[in-house]
Chain A
Amino acid sequence: MSSIIPIKQVDLVGQPVVNYRDVLTDKEIAAIEHECSLYEIRPAAAIDALQIVQSERRWISDESLYAIADMLGMSATELEGVATFYNLIYRHQVGEHVIHLCDSVSCWLHDYQTIADHLRKTLNIEFGQTTADGKITLLPNVCLGCCDKAPALMLDGELVESLNIEAIDNLLKGLRGGDHG
C-alpha cells in the first residue's frame, strides 16, 4: 500500500515520525482534543482517539496510527500495542458493513454454529474476511450480552437478536440491496 504521507524521519526505534496535522482532519483533531481534556495525561485518550478516527475512516491504517501516536505523545509501538489489544479496533481494512457474530456460551447453547456456517456459505468468506465486493466483513465476537435473545450478532454497532436462517437471509438482502443498514 502506498503512503500518501511523505515520511521524512524515523525515531530511535525506526518508527516513522509524522505530523498529525498532515494526516488528521480538523474534525478528528477537535474530537480527540476534547477526549484528552477528560484525562490527566494525553495517552489516556488512546482508545477514544482510535475510535474517533475509525468512525471517520472505517479502520486504522498505519498512517492514522502514526498520526494519533504523534498527537498523544506516544510511540507508535506503544499505541499499536493498545490498538491490537482490542476486538473493535480494526487494523485491517473492513467492508462497508461489519458483522460481529456472538460465539459465546449462551449462543452456543442456541446453536450459533448453524448461523455461522450459513453466513460463511452465503457470503463465501471465512471469519476475518471481507466479501470480494468490499461490502461485508465477518468477524466473531465474545458474548454480546444478549443471552436472553440468543443467538445474536452486532451489525455496524447495532444488536440483532433471536437470529435464525431466515432473519440472516433478510439481513443480507438488505445489506446488498442498498447502502443503508
Chain B
Amino acid sequence: MDKPLSQYLDLNNPQNLTAYQSTGGYEGFSNALKMSPQEVQQQVSDAKLKGRGGAGFMTGMKWSFVPMGEDAPKNKYLVCNADEMEPGTFKDRWLMEGAPHLLIEGMMIAAYAIGADVAYIFLRGEYRLCATRLQQAIDEAEAAGLLGDNINGSQYSLKLHLHTSAGRYICGEETALINALEGKRANPRAKPPFPQVVGLFGRPTIVNNCETLCNLPGILKSGVAWFSQLSGGADTGNKIYGISGRVKNAGLWELPMGTTAGEILELAGGMQDGLNLRGWLPGGASTDFLLPEHLDTPMEYDAIAKAGSRMGTGVIIALDDQHCPVGMILNLLQFFAQESCGWCTPCRDGLPWAVEILSRIEAGQGTQQDLDALQQLCGFMWIGKTFCALAPGAVEPLRSGMKYFADDFQQHIDHKGCPHRH
C-alpha cells in the first residue's frame, strides 16, 4: 500500500533536503512549475482532496475563489494552519516533526496554484521541536534556491516564513488566525468578505491545514487516478488516523480514507485489559460522541455525519467504562469555556454556565432542572447563534453525551454523587 504521507516520516532524524529529494521529494513541485497555476488548481479539484483540518471542504474549490490573472491584487498569501490545539489531536505535530520538507513542498505547490508570493506557517507555540525542524527545512530550501526569487529559473518567486504563536485555541479558526497574524487580538472576523478575497492585510489569502498541504506533493507527483485509488471510497486519498484514551497502544497511522474506527481501535490493540469501550469522539473534542455500535462506520465525512457526528480531525478519543462520561464532558467544556475568545455573548457566558452546571452535577448537587438548563444552553450556543464555530463545537459532545449517557446523568442526580468514584 502506498503511504504518501508517512513514507518520508522519521521522527528521530527527519530527512534533510538531499535525502528528501533523493526519495522523490520536490518532484511534485517541479511538475507543478511546468503547469499553469490554474492547471494545478484543476488537478487538485479533480483529485477531490478535502481539507483535513476538520471541516472537510474541497481544497480545489476553496482555491478557486482567489482572484487570478493580470488584474488580481499583487500580494496574495498562503497560510498553513499548524495551530493544532484540538484536544486529542496530534497528527500535524507528527507530520511536521517527522517530515518537515513534505509540508514545505506542499505549501510551495499551494502557493504557486493561487499565485501567492508570501507564505506563512502558523505554528502553535508549544510545538518547539516542529519549529526547529521546520526552520531548518526552510533554510535548506532557501539555500538550494527552492524558495526565494525565480525558483528553478522560473518566473515564480516565493518567500516562506515560520510564525510561532503563543497558545490560544481560537487561532485555529481561519479568520481569527488572520487577525492573530496581523498582531491583533485573535477574535474571528465576520464573513463575508471571505479570506480568499479579503484576508491577511486585506489581500486574498488561503488558509489550509497542515495535513491537507502534505497531500499535495503526492497528487502533483503521481496524479489524480493514483490519488483516487488510494482509498477507493467516497473520500479520496489517505488520512492520518489515530486514537488515544485507555487503549493498549495509542498512536497514529496513515490509512486509506474510509477505514473504520473499529479497524483503528484494532491497530491500537484494543482497549486496555479490563476496560470496555463506552463511547468515542471521532475527531477531537468538538465532535459528537458515537457508541461502540458505530465502530463499523467508515471514517468518511458523509458516513460519520450520517452516524450523527463529524469526522473532525480523524483522531479518535476513546472513553472507557471506568471513566465517568459526565466528568469527561465537564473536562471538554472547561476547555471550551477557557478558550472562548469572549467576542460573542452566547459563547462567552454560555460555556462557563454549562461548566458550572456540569460541575454541580458531577459533585452530586445537580437537580432535574439542571438537565433542562443544559439542554436549553445547547440550543443557545448552536450554529447561527454564535459568531464562529467554537461554541457549537463545544455543544457537540455535550448534546450527544446527554443523549447517549442519559442514565449516567440521571444517576448523578438521583444518588447525589458520581457513580464512578468509589
**Do A and B interact?**
yes
Query: Across the interface, do B93 and A48 meet the contact criterion of CB distance under 8 Å?
Result: no
* Partner pick for B165 among A47, A78, A148, A157, CB 8 A cutoff: A47
* Partner pick for B88 among A41, A47, A82, A106, CB 8 A cutoff: A106
What total of chain A residues lie within 8 Å of the partner, measured CB to CB?
44
Among A4-12, A138-146, A167-175, the stretch that binds chain B is: A138-146
Contacts of A74 in B (CB 8 A): 183
Q: A47-B165, A86-B167, A87-B167 are in contact. Are A145 and B93 (CB under 8 A)?
A: yes
Do most interface residues of chain A lie in helix, strand or loop, or is the interface mixed?
A: mixed
Binary flags per residue of B327-364, CB closer than 8 Å to A gives 1, else 0: 11001101100110100000000000000000000000
* Partner pick for A141 among B93, B161, B167, B182, CB 8 A cutoff: B167
Q: Give A127-181 interface residues, CB cut-off 8 Å to B.
A: 141-150, 154, 157-159
Number of cross-chain contacts by CB at 8 Å = 140
Contacts of B88 in A (CB 8 A): 104-106, 143, 147
Q: Is B326 interfacial (CB 8 A cutoff)?
A: no
Query: Across the interface, do A40 and B320 meet the contact criterion of CB distance under 8 Å?
Result: no
Q: Is B223 interfacial (CB 8 A cutoff)?
A: no
Query: Across the interface, do A142 and B128 meet the contact criterion of CB distance under 8 Å?
Result: no
* Closest residue on chain A to residue B200 by CB atoms: A40
Query: Across the interface, do A88 and B87 meet the contact criterion of CB distance under 8 Å?
Result: no
Q: Is A101 interfacial (CB 8 A cutoff)?
A: no
Bound Cα distance A103, B93 (Å) = 18
Query: Across the interface, do A45 and B183 meet the contact criterion of CB distance under 8 Å?
Result: yes
Q: Is A123 interfacial (CB 8 A cutoff)?
A: no
Bound Cα distance A44, B315 (Å) = 32
Query: Across the interface, do A148 and B90 meet the contact criterion of CB distance under 8 Å?
Result: yes
Query: Across the interface, do A105 and B332 meet the contact criterion of CB distance under 8 Å?
Result: yes
Bound Cα distance A89, B328 (Å) = 28
Bound Cα distance A110, B322 (Å) = 11
B residues in contact (CB < 8 Å) with A: 75, 84-90, 93, 124-129, 161, 163-169, 180-186, 201, 242, 244-246, 250-252, 285, 315, 317-320, 323, 327-328, 331-332, 334-335, 338-339, 341
